[in-house]
Amino acid sequence: MTALSIVVPCFNEEACLPLLHQRLTGAARSAVGEDYEILLVNDGSRDGSWPLMQRLSASDPRLVCVDLSRNHGHQLALTAGLDLARGELILIVDADLQDPPELLPDMMRTMGEEGADVVYGVRRSRAGETHFKKATAAAFYRLLSRATDIAIPVDAGDFRLMSRRALDVLLAMPEQARFIRGMVAWIGFRQVPFLYDRAERAAGESKYPLGKMLRFAFDALTGFSSAPLKLASHAGLLLSLGSLLIIFYIAYAFISGQSIQGWTSLMLVVVVLGAVQMFVLAMMGEYIGRLYSQAKQRPLYIVQEVTGAPRQARAGLG
């Protein structure tokens, strides 16, 4: 057993890697001496990340680099790294150094003082991110916390320190569409926040374009809440009330001998009904899609190569 594992998912992060390696090494040494490992997971990068990882790992026995067979996405790349981690404590960071690894000793102290199993980073501020990103992220975390039953912390990312027993519970959860920060919240044990200022990206650009962000948000919502499904019953109730009013109106007009015209109102009703039905169908589709992908039981990710021969045995399929 190692005292500490640091797990980092990397997608096209060539420009960040040398500094990342250096700062992680510094932070780990100051926290636990030499008893640590750093796991970099190459999530099917299309730049020179993998050759660079191989070179770095040739000169550092504490560096384990994992090459996935293709791009599996942030959350699955992270899962691959967590599966291979052997530490008693596990630190998750992003490759772009937005989460300062130098906070590790403080996080460990907080963990000890509070007797916590999870110390999760909460962003007090976010430097160098667009207004759009900040606004959508803020709205997303608030919507999520209203829609779910478990308390998923607001403004917390995956930057966190976990105990071995919390990680083992997390890894026992077999879901395919993973929203790890929510899954960790679900586990329970004692979890305490740790406020920090999020730095700018060290280099390169965000690997989360709008499409991926939306997918991520949907996975979170459908994975942790059935509120969207209940929208159907609310919409149904509302529309029934509306139709009752219209029926009264028609009856009144009929009795008082008026003729009712109205292409506009007719179209309005048709379009509104159609839209509501499609929306509800789409929501159900999201959940069915989840069921379908879960039913296939495919491995979560596929490892192509792991640097460091003795460790190769640890990596199998998924």
Binding site for Mg ion (CB under 5 A): 94, 96, 98
292 binds, among Mg ion, ligand UDP, none (CB under 5 to 8 A by kind): none
Single out the segment in contact with ligand UDP by CB under 6 A; choices: 113-121, 204-212, 284-292, 296-304: 204-212
Task: Choose, by CB under 6 A, the member of 4, 6, 10, 221 that binds ligand UDP.
Answer: 10
Rule CB under 6 A: is residue 98 a binding residue for ligand UDP?
yes
Cβ 313 to Mg ion shortest distance, Å = 32
**Contact call for residue 95 and ligand UDP (CB under 6 A):** yes
Tell me which of Mg ion, ligand UDP, none is bound by residue 73, counting a contact when its beta carbon lies within the kind-specific cut-off of 5 to 8 angstroms: ligand UDP
Of 83-91, 93-101, 251-259, 271-279: span binding ligand UDP (CB under 6 A): 93-101
Q: Closer to ligand UDP at the Cβ: 98 or 163? A: 98
Query: Is residue 96 near ligand UDP by the rule CB under 6 A?
Result: yes
81 binds, among ligand UDP, Mg ion, none (CB under 5 to 8 A by kind): none
Query: Nearer Cβ to ligand UDP, position 73 or 223?
Result: 73
Residue from 105, 127, 142, 208 touching ligand UDP (CB under 6 A): that is 208
Choose the stretch contacting ligand UDP; rule: CB under 6 A; options: 53-61, 94-102, 232-240, 286-294: 94-102
Q: Residues 14, 37, 67, 94: which binds ligand UDP (CB under 6 A)? A: 94
Report the 10 Å Cβ neighbour count for 35. Answer: 15
Q: What token pair was written down for 184?
A: 């960790």
How far, in Å, CA of 8 to CA of 274, rounded?
A: 45
The nearest distance, CB 11 to ligand UDP, in angstroms, is 3
The DSSP bridge partners found for residue 196 are: 123
Contact call for residue 43 and ligand UDP (CB under 6 A): yes
Partners of 197 in the beta sheet?
A: 125
Instruction: List Cβ<8 Å contacts ≥24 apart for 232-240.
Output: 232/280, 232/283, 232/284, 235/276, 235/279, 235/280, 239/273, 239/276
What is the 3-state secondary structure of the chain?
CEEEEEEEEECCCCCCHHHHHHHHHHHHHHHHCCCEEEEEEECCCCCCHHHHHHHHHHCCCCEEEEEECCCCCHHHHHHHHHHHCCEEEEEECCCCCCCCHHHHHHHHHHHHHHCCCEEEEEEEEECCCCHHHHHHHHHHHHHHHHHCCCCCCCCEEEEEEEEHHHHHHHHCCCCCCCCHHHHHHHHCCCEEEEEEEECCCCCCCCCCCHHHHHHHHHHHHHHHCCHHHHHHHHHHHHHHHHHHHHHHHHHHHHHCCCCCCCHHHHHHHHHHHHHHHHHHHHHHHHHHHHHHHHHHCCCCCEEEEECCHHHHHHCCEC
4 binds, among Mg ion, ligand UDP, none (CB under 5 to 8 A by kind): none
| From candidates 35, 192, 206, 286, binder to ligand UDP by CB under 6 A | 206
Which residue number, 243 or 304, has a Cβ lying nearer to ligand UDP? Answer: 304
Q: How far is the CB of 161 from ligand UDP (least distance, A)?
A: 17
Nearer CB in complex with ligand UDP: 10/111: 10
Q: Which does 104 bind (CB under 5 to 8 A by kind): Mg ion, ligand UDP, none?
A: none
Chain positions contacting ligand UDP, by CB under 6 A: 9-11, 13, 43, 71, 73-74, 77, 94-96, 98, 206-208
